[in-house]
């Protein structure tokens, strides 16, 4: 069945209103999502953002669009350098410093990709590592210098925010409060200290560096996404997304860099997901409520119940994660899966007291329209799921009285398949194997590329436990079959 292409609307942080997404190329959505800084395990607050973006992407796909998705891997940044250089002697070579950095980032890139695979997040089409795009970053900074938007101070290069009239447009900053001429070297800072920000950092002792026109140094965090986004998705894109914590300074600075260079609007839709509380409190290690995915699976939490618990809340509302919420998610999934099983089987002739029958196919159409109306309205998942549960109640009651026909059951199964394509939580058995296996193979490839043999073996064992046999092909790619 060919699906009709549906238009979706999303809240755009730039004008602060819900607007239809009209792709630059009809039927093809370009999407950039800010990826992880790979120096540690992602916590469930981070994972909420990636799950929201997967929902966004899968909704466009299910709505009949193609999606070109780029997610960067930040593999050079302040915290990475802090955590990777400690064990090295003061006179370590630059090569040794890069190696130590790559060992840390390679390991956590593989772990991150595994976590996404476990959560059935579709891999991005482009997964660029920042360190592979240093020449593009340098060229972008040079272009900003040529336009008078960047200046050098003691071997570092800074962005001159007073040079861009619309600086502050995304975070809705008050331009009066900005401090002319002050500058900040840190990648992260608060909005009450809006200043010129760093594009290129001169190397301090004990840090890995690259050669540049300004001497030895390394890129600032913000320039990474501008350079990779423009290189891989072009001079304009449809959607750029991240958590709300990235609105300022990261995305504001990305706009400054890219639009300062291009001279026109870069991103049509800025889409941000809200953060997450745990049992009503901000997650912190000292409160003992700080969870990675592995912490939760070790407690016996089903990752797909976690996926559902997160995605069944609206992405623009603060999510209060709780174990009670997880149990509710498990129960909701049981209900949908049991209904799916019932529709897969043959119905018994109804034995209950006769009531006036509804038309199951008309009821199904209503549910489908209600589902899509909710999803098209800024991904309103609570309402979309309510449409599914109303259908389940109605058809279960109907089936009790007079069994649905095979044709009606197949039509219902088609709808469950269509919606599962977004939520990935009530699959036909083994239907989701492909994307999970592909994602794990990608994680193993990343681990091997970073010489993280133990991690690569762990992924291989995980695939083995799933009954997957890997086959190294002549062209260097890896194939697989169910053993
Ligand atoms: Zn970014």
> What pLDDT digit, counting tens, does each position of 47-86 carry?
999 999 999 999 999 999 999 999 999 999 999 999 999 9
Tokens linked to 143 = 């272009």
CA–CA gap between residue 171 and residue 352 (Å, rounded): 60
What integer pLDDT is reported at residue 478 of this predicted model?
A: 77
SS3 112: helix
Stretch (H or E) spanning 482? strand 478-482
241 CA to centre of ligand 1 in angstroms: 8
What is the value of pTM for the model shown?
0.88
Q: How high does pLDDT run on average in the chain?
A: 92
> Is 90 exceeded by the pLDDT of residue 464?
no
Given the DSSP bridges, would you call strands 319-321 and 276-278 parallel, antiparallel or unpaired? parallel
Cα 341 to middle of ligand 1, angstroms: 42
Determine the distance separating the centroid of ligand 1 and the alpha carbon of 214, expressed in angstroms.
Answer: 24
Amino acid 401: pLDDT: 82
Residue 265 alpha carbon to ligand 1 centre in Å? 17
Query: How many angstroms does the Cα of residue 445 sit away from the middle of ligand 1?
Result: 24
Ligand 1 centroid to residue 127 C-alpha, Å: 13
3: pLDDT confidence band, cut at 50, 70 and 90? Answer: low
Residue 313 Cα, ligand 1 centroid: separation in angstroms? 24
Q: How many angstroms does the Cα of residue 33 sit away from the middle of ligand 1?
A: 7
CA of residue 315 to ligand 1 center, whole Å: 19
Q: How far is the CA of 71 from the centre of ligand 1 (A)?
A: 9
* Equal fold, 9-273 vs 281-423: no
> Where does residue 89 rank: exposed (0-12), middle (13-18), buried (19+ CB within 10 A)?
exposed
Whether the per-residue pLDDT at 138 is higher than 90: the answer is yes
252 Cα–ligand 1 center, Å:
10
* CA of residue 91 to ligand 1 center, whole Å: 33
364 C-alpha vs ligand 1 centroid, how far in Å? 41
CA distance 306 to 425: 10
CA of 383 to the centre of ligand 1 (A): 31
- H-helix segments, 263-302: 293-298
Q: What is the pLDDT of residue 355?
A: 60
Query: Which region among 203-212, 398-407, 413-422 has the lowest average model confidence (pLDDT)?
Result: 398-407
Q: How far is the CA of 389 from the centre of ligand 1 (A)?
A: 37
Q: Ligand 1: distance of its center to the CA of 266 in Å?
A: 14
75 CA distance to ligand 1 middle (Å): 12
Asked if the model's pLDDT at residue 413 lies above 80, the reply is yes
Q: For residue 4, report the distance from its CA to the centre of ligand 1, in Å.
A: 33
Strand order of the β-sheet with 319-321 is 281-282, 276-278, 319-321
CA 197 to centroid of ligand 1, rounded, Å: 15
Res 93: pLDDT? 97
Report d(CA 356, CA 362) in Å as an integer: 15
- What is the CA(349)–ligand 1 centre distance, in A? 58
Please give the CATH number for the structural domain made up of 281-423.
1.10.730.10
Query: What is the pLDDT averaged over residues 279-286?
Result: 88
Among 433, 343, 322, smallest CA distance to 395 is for 343
Query: How does residue 104 score in pLDDT terms, banded at 50, 70 and 90?
Result: very high
Tokens 């594009």 belong to 199
Q: How far is the CA of 35 from the centre of ligand 1 (A)?
A: 7
- Asked if residue 481 has pLDDT above 90, the reply is no
Q: Ligand 1 centre from 446 Cα, in Å?
A: 20
Q: Does residue 354 carry a pLDDT above 60?
A: no
Kindly state the average pLDDT of the residues 423-452. 78
- Ligand 1 centroid, distance to 191 Cα (angstroms): 17
Cα(169) to centroid of ligand 1, in Å? 17
DSSP bridge partners of 470 = 480
Distance from residue 454's CA to the centre of ligand 1 (Å): 30
CA of 218 to the centre of ligand 1 (A): 16
Query: Is residue 357's pLDDT more than 70?
Result: no
User: In angstroms, what is the span from residue 222 Cα to ligand 1's centroid?
Assistant: 6
How many CA atoms are closer than 13 Å to the CA of 457, on its beta-carbon side? Answer: 4
Q: Give me ligand 1 centre to Cα 226, in Å.
A: 7
The Å distance, Cα 253 to ligand 1 centre, comes to 10
Residue 181 Cα to ligand 1 midpoint, Å, equals 25
Q: Is the dihedral of CA 464, 468, 469, 473 positive or negative?
A: negative
| Superfamily of chain region 9-273 | HUPs (3.40.50.620)
Distance 151 CA to ligand 1 centre (A): 22
Q: Determine contact, residues 53/309, Cβ cutoff 8 Å.
A: no
Give the pLDDT confidence of 217-253 residue by residue, as tens digits. 999 999 999 999 999 999 999 999 999 999 999 999 9
State the pLDDT at residue 28.
Answer: 97
The structure tokens listed for 429 are 């058995």
pLDDT at 430 over 60: no
Distance 220 CA to ligand 1 centre (A): 11
Centre of ligand 1 to C-alpha 202, Å, is 21
Residue 467 in tokens? 């009954």
**Domain spans of the chain, in order of start:** 9-273, 281-423
HSE, CB side, 13 Å, CA atoms: give it for residue 405: 5
What CA–CA distances, in Å, run from 211 to 79, 138, 141? 21, 10, 14
């Amino acid at each position: 069945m060919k699906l009709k292409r549906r238009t979706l609307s999303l809240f755009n942080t730039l004008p602060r209103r819900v607007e239809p997404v009209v792709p630059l190329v009809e039927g093809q959505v370009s999407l950039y999502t800010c990826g992880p800084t790979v120096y540690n395990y992602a916590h469930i607050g981070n994972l909420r953002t990636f799950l929201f973006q997967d929902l966004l992407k899968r909704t466009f796909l299910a709505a009949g669009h193609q999606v070109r998705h780029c997610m960067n891997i930040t593999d050079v940044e302040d915290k990475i350098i802090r955590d990777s250089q400690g064990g090295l002697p003061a006179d370590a070579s630059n090569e040794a410093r890069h190696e130590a950095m790559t060992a840390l980032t390679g390991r956590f890139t593989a772990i991150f990709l595994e976590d996404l695979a476990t959560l059935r997040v579709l891999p991005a089409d482009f997964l660029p590592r920042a360190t592979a795009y240093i020449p593009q970053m340098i060229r972008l900074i040079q272009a900003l210098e040529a336009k008078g938007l960047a200046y050098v101070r003691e071997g570092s290069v800074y962005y001159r925010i007073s040079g861009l009239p619309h600086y502050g447009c995304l975070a809705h900053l008050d331009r009066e409060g900005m401090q002319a001429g002050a500058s900040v070297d840190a990648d992260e800072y608060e909005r009450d200290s809006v200043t010129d920000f760093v594009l290129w950092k001169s190397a301090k002792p004990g840090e890995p560096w690259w050669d540049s026109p300004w001497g030895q140094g390394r890129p600032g965090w913000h320039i990474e996404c501008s350079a990779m986004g423009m290189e891989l998705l072009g001079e304009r894109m449809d959607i750029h997304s991240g958590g709300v914590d990235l609105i300022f300074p990261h995305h504001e600075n990305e706009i400054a860099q890219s639009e300062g260079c291009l001279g026109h609007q870069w991103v049509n839709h800025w889409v941000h997901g809200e953060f997450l509380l745990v049992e009503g409190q901000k997650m912190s290690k000292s409160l003992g409520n700080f969870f990675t995915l592995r912490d939760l699976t070790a407690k016996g939490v089903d990752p797909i119940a976690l996926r559902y618990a997160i995605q069944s809340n609206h992405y623009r509302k603060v999510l209060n994660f709780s174990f009670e919420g997880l149990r509710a998610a498990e129960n909701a999934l049981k209900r949908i899966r049991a209904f799916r099983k019932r529709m897969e089987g043959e119905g018994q002739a109804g034995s209950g007291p006769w009531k006036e029958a509804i038309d199951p196919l008309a009821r199904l159409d209503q549910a489908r329209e209600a589902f899509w109306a909710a999803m098209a309205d800024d991904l309103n998942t609570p309402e979309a799921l309510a449409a599914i549960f109303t259908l389940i109640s109605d058809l279960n009651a109907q089936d009790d009285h007079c069994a649905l026909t095979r044709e009606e059951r197949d039509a219902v199964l088609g709808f469950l398949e269509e919606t599962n394509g977004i939520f990935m939580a009530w699959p036909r058995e083994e239907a989701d194997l492909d994307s999970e296996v592909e994602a794990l193979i990608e994680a193993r490839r990343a681990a091997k590329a970073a010489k993280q043999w133990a991690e690569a073996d762990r992924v291989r064992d995980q695939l083995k436990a799933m009954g997957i046999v890997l086959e190294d092909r002549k062209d260097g790619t890896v194939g697989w079959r169910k053993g």
